[in-house]
Each structure stands twice: as C-alpha cells, then as structure tokens.
Amino acid sequence: MKTSLLGAGLRLVVYACIVFVLLTPAMAQSAQPANAQQGGNVVHYPDAVPKTPADYQPITAGERLSWFARATVGPKSLAGGLFSAGFGTATNSPHEYGPHWEGFGKRYGMRLTGVSTSNAMEATLGAIWGEDPRYFHTIHQSFGGRVKNIVDLTFRAYHPDGERYPAYARYVAIVGNNFLSNTWRAHSEADSQHAMIRVAEGIGGRALSNAFDEFFPLLWRKVTHQPDPYPANERRP
C-alpha cells in the first residue's frame, strides 16, 4: 500500500511539473500549421527537416503540449499499447496480471502510465532548455538518408538555434521513468535489471516511432496514388 501511494504521489509530481511549465501564457500563441508556409521566396514545411538552421521554427508551448497529447494518447501510441499488452498477455508477463482480459487491461494501463510519465518528463525538461521532441521527416531523400535521419533524431533533437544536440531530456525521461515506475509495477519486474531492459525498449520504441513517421506517409501516398506534396525544387541534398 505504501509503495502504491508513493508511486501515485511521484506521478502526480511529474504531471504537476508539466502543467506548470507548459500551461503558460505562451500557450495562447498559435501553432504552426501542418501545411507549407510561404516566407518571401522560401517555402517552409514545419514537419520536415529544415534546409538550414535559419529555416528551423522553434517549437511553441502549444505545439509542445500537442506533441505530449499525440505521443501519449494518439492513434499510434494507443495501437502500440494494444500490441504490447497483447504480447504480454499471450506470454503471461508479468505473471501477476494473468493470461486473461483483466490482465490485458492491467498491462495496457501500465504501459500507458509509463508512456505518459516519460512523455511528461521529456516535454517538461525539454521546455526548460529548449529541446524539441518532435520528429522531422526528410524530403526526397534516399533510403539510406531516411534511415540516418531516423537514427539521428532518436538520439538527438533540435534546439532553438536550429542545430541538433544530444536529446538529454529524452535520455532522462526514458531512464528516469523506467526506474521510477518500479515503485508501482508488479513485483516480478520491479527491479533494476527489468528497468534497464525497459530503457532499451524505450529507445527502440522511439526509433520505430520515427520510422513510422518517416515512411508511412510515403507508403500511403503510393498505395492511394496521391501526388507528392513537395515540389521538385524542394529536393534536399
């Protein structure tokens, strides 16, 4: 009981931090639209890799909160939870939850708790020193170039100067969340060894999420025969 109360209290502290940092007057600022923006003779695509550091548009408080919501309860995250909880139920891991629908629900809820805590920590710490948690896809890159971007933005992130730096907020969030969650997890997986395994899974999951964001729009356009939304003169080296 004391452990459960401690875990709940720690989670409340994390959520309070993100509310304090993100829910500021800056939220009144309008977010960048998802479509291209024309600025003089330069076309900016807010969701694509900027051509130069000067082309980078820093994330706003509203966009940061929107990222937290999408990364936590967006379709991609919820679908990932179904797979994770389903696999855990099929293998009965952890065994305390059991191989049944109730166990599936517990695993789904536990995974969602971990994701929300990690995203809250990353968004909060990132807001303090300007780390951008978003993924920026490439435009007309080779397969190798796309994979390089996926891996790079798994371990690095944009800062207000338009340059990429190690994603320290992400590192702290993934490691901190997985060790912090030992306070409310099932006993059989509430130890340092399992926490380190979850850290590796968290990094791998971020890479898979980036890969989805990079390749799925391209594959969807090909399947549905939709035109390329980026003009030829926007090809990137």
- The per-residue pLDDT for range 22-71, each reduced to its tens digit, is 443 333 333 333 445 554 444 556 789 998 999 999 999 999 999 999 99
133 within some domain: yes
- pLDDT higher at 101 or 233: 101
- pLDDT higher at 5 or 49: 49
The confidence score (pLDDT) of residue 233 equals 57
Min mean pLDDT across 4-8, 91-95, 144-148, 186-190 is at 4-8
**Percentage of the chain surpassing pLDDT 90?**
68
148 within some domain: yes
Structure tokens at 124: 């909060």
Backbone φ, ψ for residue 24 (5° rounding): -115, 170
How many alpha carbons lie under 13 Å from residue 213 in its C-beta half-sphere?
Answer: 25
pLDDT, one tens digit per residue, over 191-208 is: 999 999 999 999 999 999
State the average pLDDT over residues 11-22. Answer: 46
CA of 106: how far to CAs of 103, 111, 113, 232, in Å? 5, 9, 10, 49
187 within some domain: yes
State the average pLDDT over residues 174-184. Answer: 94
Structure tokens at 115: 């994701």
Which band of pLDDT confidence, cut at 50, 70 and 90, is reported for residue 230?
confident
Q: Which residues contact 202 (CB under 8 A, 6 or more apart)?
A: 118, 174, 177, 178
Is residue 91 pLDDT above 90, yes or no? yes
40 within some domain: no
Confidence (pTM)? 0.80
36 within some domain: no
CA of 135: how far to CAs of 1, 49, 107, 154, 182, in Å? 39, 9, 27, 9, 29
Give the total number of structural domains in the chain.
Answer: 1
- Segments forming the whole domain that contains residue 109: 2-16+60-234
- pLDDT higher at 28 or 237: 237
Contact of 220 with 226, CB cutoff 8 Å: yes
| 24 φ/ψ sector (left φ>0, alpha ψ -120 to 50, else beta) | beta
Q: How far apart are CA 189 and CA 206, in angstroms?
A: 21
Is residue 3 pLDDT above 80, yes or no? no
Is residue 96 pLDDT above 60, yes or no? yes
Q: How far apart are CA 144 and CA 128, in angstroms?
A: 33
45 within some domain: no
